[in-house]
Structure 1
């Protein structure tokens, strides 16, 4: 049986396959630790073979991906100065292939398909966690939080916050008919419920901020481009002022107090200090990608012991930039920061300075969510996690998806995307 190539790689026609691929990816990102390598193999299986369908699509405009490719190359080369070369080599290859899968996704599926697949995947993931129903006691702040099938409340909180976000943007910008409202309602309710009982302060606080930004960008649709620019400049200035005032007047303590926390963020400030001290040992290049949290290394073992991490894995400095400084030095931290800023600026400027479209609004919201979380979580430095996949997908969507040109053959005009596979 021959399958039309367009049903696999044409963003206008591959909603079914693309949505399925995204849903499989989210399941792999969430539960590969639970179900093992079979989910990672499934993740590769839905993306990598698409290269064989139309390899020219992925080679066109490849130079636009130079910044993530430079980071991936740097991560791989860090094996030469890594404190744990074998760990760095394995994880670096995984991260590189993870970026490649995000690149393929960005070249083959639309933002609407991404949203539909994300909603389907998140719904199944949250249903499974609800069925597992595990709770975990936080020995540092004495709270009892829902974690489901995840390892921590922050992981399930992130998934639930994405569920709410994608529900809102789908209903606001992408739905077609009343059936969409009926289908998204259970996902919205389940996401909101699990977010509430997870008690993840970062996830709960970030959702309103991101939705407010999306609402502002949506309202700007009614304004001429010159007024959008004024609003953007004024809004950015106010944001800087509010952030400065919040830091100096203790508003952060007030916000955290709502969630029963204090300014130490349950030990995160101590972790930041420890991370900064560790970064000073090798400030330029770092200790090597994934080469700090290694069993048998004294500093990692000490911190695992102090924070009661009996599994001796799955821990980090709860700050993307400090984690990057420790593992990749100022060079790596600079590269990852450039990727975040370039992606955020690209999508926001597309809304403010060009013809208004829903796609950059949605991806700008995703980037703001990741940016907020980057100061207290590490969502984008590891392979096989949702945050890094969304980051690189958003980056690669800055470049228009290449369209295969028709070509003449002895049999006549052939459209590559519509030809039979």
Structure 2
């Protein structure tokens, strides 16, 4: 049987494509390149915003940012013209329906937002981002082409940040690379590690050797960033996913049912052990962060929960809470350092405070659908199943201590979109099989 795994050196595994198809295969990598390389470098060279208060600075628009996304959307639409006949089937995919359902609720929330202008502007950006990913992945020619481009971007990102940590002094709490603070470097290196693990599993020869080197460098950068959330999840999740996929694959059992069973069992066991041993929330925080507040997060969460209680069903409005200027609850009421933040350091609380229980319900359904799509790949493409599961679980767990759900062009949020949509895009093997049948 011919090896259908992706390779930079085996163009025959990628179906012949016109210019539109080639552009769509590059589009996700271009989006990530802007988020993890171009925008951070521009921010570093510009010296950051002039405003002293971060909430005021974040509330302002960015002309170059708007121009980039509008141009990218226009190019994506042009590249998709010959493929629009496939669009209805893509739009009816459960993952796409769930994402657009959240965007629809967000659009309604602009009506009661205290800053409708800012909320609408951010909603337009989020819609452009989602549309670009849906068009590129849903209408693309093959996932191998797209994943090859992503691996190229990862190699470049790791190389640039290796240079950056050699020439840019570390912050007091860890290396930041080209990013404003250490968690930025940690998140991008976690992204690099997870994708490179996949690349190593499907590549051979010199390409595999190169990716092993990149994997080692990405892990080293992740360690020196001292981003504990990204580091811990990156070390644990691949191990768990590899064991899970191996069990589901060799035992030929329903992978989705298995992951739900294992998750439920794990939560119940953790609750039982906590009740018996007395190892609770404070002890966990002390073990992970050497304090009992999750490095101040409990102060943030207490404030955000109070605001959520004021409008728990529909929230304050999409993207209408953090970074909206002086006429905001955060600016007026947040205690001490919380007024200087742009997130709750918990993505689920941020969804609740913005779109309420309605938005959170849609998000939870979206996560379950994404897990189901990934587990469907276990029997026919275990390597891709591992990648999708690693990304979905990483993003889902990462949002317990950081915030990225539906937030601008956050690389972590974009990883989830890619993982959720990848099962839609056919592989080169699928294309070849379809062609031989026809």
TM bracket, shorter-chain basis: 0.7 to 0.9
- Superposition CA RMSD, Å: 3.2
2:27 maps to which residue?
A: 21
CA distance 1:317–1:331, change in 2 (3 Å):
same
User: 2:224 is matched with which residue?
Assistant: 197
Residue 306 of structure 2: which of 269, 272, 277 is its match? 277
Q: Specify every segment of 5 or more residues in structure 2 that has no aligned partner in the other structure, as ranges.
A: 1-14, 43-63, 429-434
| 1:12-411 alignment, distance < 5 Å | 14=22, 17=23, 20-30=26-36, 31-32=38-39, 34-35=41-42, 36-37=64-65, 40=69, 43-44=72-73, 47-64=76-93, 65-107=96-138, 108=140, 110-133=142-165, 134=168, 137=171, 144-172=173-201, 174-175=202-203, 177-220=204-247, 223-226=250-253, 232=259, 235-245=262-272, 247-248=274-275, 249-250=278-279, 257=286, 260-293=289-322, 294-301=324-331, 306-307=336-337, 315-351=342-378, 355=380, 357-399=382-424, 401=426
TM-score, structure 2 length as denominator? 0.77
Tell me how far 1:149 sits from its aligned partner: 2.1
Contact preservation (8 Å) 1:8, 1:50? yes
* Shift in CA distance, 241/20, structure 1 to aligned 2, threshold 3 Å: same
Could you say if the C-alpha distance between residues 145 and 86 of structure 1 is closer, same or farther in structure 2, counting changes exceeding 3 Å? same
Give the alignment's TM-score, normalised by structure 1. Answer: 0.80
Q: List per-residue Cα deviations over 1:304-338 (Å, max 9, x = no partner).
A: 772277xx5x6101111110111111111111121
- Shift in CA distance, 114/254, structure 1 to aligned 2, threshold 3 Å: farther
Where structure 1 has 5 or more consecutive residues not aligned to the other structure, the ranges are: 138-142, 404-414, 416-421
Q: 1:147 to 1:290 in 2, by over 3 A?
A: same
Give the distance between the partners of 2:213 and 2:262, measured in 1 at CA.
34
What CA distance in whole angstroms lies between the structure 1 residues aligned with 2:254 and 2:280?
Answer: 31
* Residue 243 (structure 1) shift: 3.3
Contact kept in structure 2, 1:29 and 1:385, CA below 8 Å: yes
TM-superposition CA deviations, 1:24-74 (whole Å, max 9, x none): 211211242553526545654663432224222223342223221111111
Kept in 1: contact 2:289–2:295 (CA 8 A): no
Question: Which deviates more from structure 2 when the two are superposed, residues 80-89 or residues 23-32?
Answer: 23-32
For these two proteins, the number of residue pairs brought into alignment is 384
Contact 1:145/1:199 (<8 A) preserved: yes
Q: Is the 8 A contact 1:119 1:187 kept in 2?
A: no
